[in-house]
Structure 1
Amino acid sequence: MELRHLRCFVVVAEELHFARAAERLHIDQSPLSRTIKELEEDLGVQLFVRTTRSTRLTLAGRLFQAHVPRVFAALDQARAYVKAAADGFHDQLRIALSDGVTPARLSTLMALCRQEDPDIAIRFFEVPLSQQIKGLHEDLYDAGFAQSAEVGDGILAEPAWNDPLHVAVPARHPLLAFKRIPLHEVLRYPLVMGDPQFCEGYRRQIDRVLRAADQEPLIAEQVMSFDLMIALVAAGYALGLAGASQLAGGRELGVVARPLAGRTPTLTTWLLRRDVEPSHSLTRFIKRISAIDELGGRELAIPDAIQDAKP
């Protein structure tokens, strides 16, 4: 079995059409068919059922499809380790990000890491929460950040920081008459929300806040990024709900962040990691998170020498 067999399998499994798969791979359909047949012979199972009308995965094919990406992930990580070593780094941390982690806190954390451990390379992977949890179990990531502590057995969820929940309001909107906006007033208008598939932890926390009201929210759009949420709010399309620091960048676009009336709810960001003894590098990384929480996300003063450090 060679990597070309796996690459061909992945594309055919995605397309479920040999002609389209061959076009994506820039090869003829005949050698593609031979490659898949070689793979099936090597595994001793049939991966695809082909008819004149359709192509579909067998049960064995679906199981194989679930495992093949790990081969390429491991290969990519091996390349990254070699490159990091060539660039002068002595260790590497693989950090997964889900739910649109608060930018201010993350940038401050990274500045501190570069200042205190410049020889450790940190790689980030933006993935849905379910993929982060799976990757932690499979040792594809050393740790991750998400807005959910519902992670199942074998994974530890430790609070990293809290961010006050604010309402994103377009400039010149009637709700700006309120310094603190009552939730029932917010629910009179359509909302743009994070897609629950890609912002799973965020949506769980937001849904808990909305359940406190008797009104059913009118969700105008579900988005995969907070940048798109800000853009839609700025255009007057809907209101948004997010952490205060996530909304800070919207000021230039004419978006105003206002707290909710009453006791302001917070969005909690959690550090996720496997329930095993952490490495020395990860232990130091975890300790810095407490320092960031105490700083409240303020910018660190980074010496000139650090600014000129390795990218």
Structure 2
Amino acid sequence: MELRHLRRFIVLAEELHFTRAAERLHIEQSPLSRSIKELEGELGVALFKRDRSGTSLTPAGEVYLLNLRRVFDSLDQAAVSAKAAAAGYRGMLRIAVSDGAAEPRLATLLAHCREEDPEVEIHLFDVPLAEQLRGLREGVFDAGFAHSCDTGNDIVAGFVWSDPLVVVMAARHPLLVHAQIPLDKLLRYPLVMGHPYECEGYLQQIVKLLSEVNAEPIVVGQASSLGMALTLVAAGYGLCFVTASQIGMYGHPDVVARELQMPQGEAKLMTYLLYPRTGVSEPLSRFIKRIQPRGSDNTQFL
């Protein structure tokens, strides 16, 4: 089984069109067709279904694609590790970031890691929460940051920090008469929420927050990024929940932030460090200890 056949299969599975796949691979269509035929012959299964409506993956092809991507992820990681070793690094951490958890404190943490542990190379991956959890279980990632602790018994979810939640609105919104926005009054207006796949953990916490008020939110849009959410808010589509630190990072001239008035304390968005319960490497152990406050006796991570 040749790697070029496998790579051609992946491209065709992504394009589901022989002509486009061949163009992307910079080959003629006939060698692509031959490679797929040889691969199917070697496996003894049909990977693609071809009919008048076009080309599609068979159930066997879908399973094969999923597993092949894992194989190529491992090959890519092996190449990165080899290059890191050649450059003088003695360890590597693959850190996934989900739910928009990349914020100033993460940048500060990474800077400290580079200063205090320079022989460990850290790679960041911006992925949805479901992909992070799958990667942690399959060894693709060593750890990750997310806004969810609903991870199952095989993944540790340790609280690392929290940020006050604020609500942002267009510059001339009627709610700006309030210095703090009551949650019940806020829910009378349309909301721009996070996308349920791209912002899963963030959305879990917002839905829990809104459940404190006996009113159904009016959701007019779902944004997969903070930049898109602020664009919709500035255009007057609705209100959106963000953290105070995010407003500092992604300031928008046409939106205004207000604190929330909560029945019980301050509204906060929680951030968690996730990693597999077993197989903690020495570089990861040092990374975890570096996150904990100096002098803390917090043992929830180890």
Q: Give TM-score, length-normalised by structure 2.
A: 0.91
Q: Which residue does 1:275 correspond to in 2? A: 277
Residue aligning to 1:6: 6
Runs of 4+ in 1 over 6 A off after TM superposition: none
Partner of residue 173, structure 1: 173
Residues 53-132 of structure 1: matches in 2 within 5 Å? 53-132=53-132
How far does the alpha carbon of each residue in 1:133-167 deviate from its partner, in whole angstroms, 9 at most, with x for none?
11111100000111111112311111111111111
What is the letter of the counterpart of residue 226 of structure 1? Answer: L
Structure 2: runs of 5 or more not aligned: 297-302
**CA deviation profile, 1:216-275 (whole Å, cap 9, x unmatched):** 222222111112222332343322102221222244524332221022221111111111
- Conserved? CA contact 2:230–2:252, under 8 Å: no
Question: Scaled by the length of structure 1, what TM-score is found?
Answer: 0.88
What is the CA–CA distance in structure 2 between the aligned matches of 1:250 and 1:168, rounded to whole Å? 12
Secondary structure of 2:230's counterpart equals helix
Give 1:194's aligned residue.
Answer: 194
Q: Percent identity?
A: 52
Deviations 1:86-144 (A, max 9, x none): 33322110000110004111111112112211221100111111111111111000001
Note the 1:29-40 alignment, pairs <5 A: 29-40=29-40
- C-alpha displacement of 1:191: 1.6
Amino acid at match of 2:71: V
Letter in 2 for 1:204: Q
Q: Conserved in 2, the CA contact under 8 Å of 1:171 and 1:256?
A: yes
In structure 2, how many angstroms separate the alpha carbons of the residues matched to 1:122 and 1:77? 12
Match of 1:258 in 2: 258
C-alpha RMSD over aligned residues: 1.9
Total equivalences in the alignment: 293
In structure 1, the residue matched to 2:299 is: none
In structure 2, the CA distance between the partners of 1:102 and 1:167, relative to structure 1 (3 Å rule), is farther
Give the 3-state SS of the residue equivalent to 1:89 in structure 2: coil
C-alpha contact (below 8 Å) 1:137/1:274 kept by paired residues: yes
Q: Secondary structure of the residue that 1:137 maps to in structure 2?
A: helix
The code of the aligned residue for 2:275 comes to R
CA distance in 2, matches of 1:252, 1:242: 12
Q: Cα distance 1:144–1:132, how it changes in 2: closer, same or farther (>3 A)? A: same
Distance 1:84 1:270 in 2: 28
Structure 1 unmatched ranges of 5 or more: 295-311
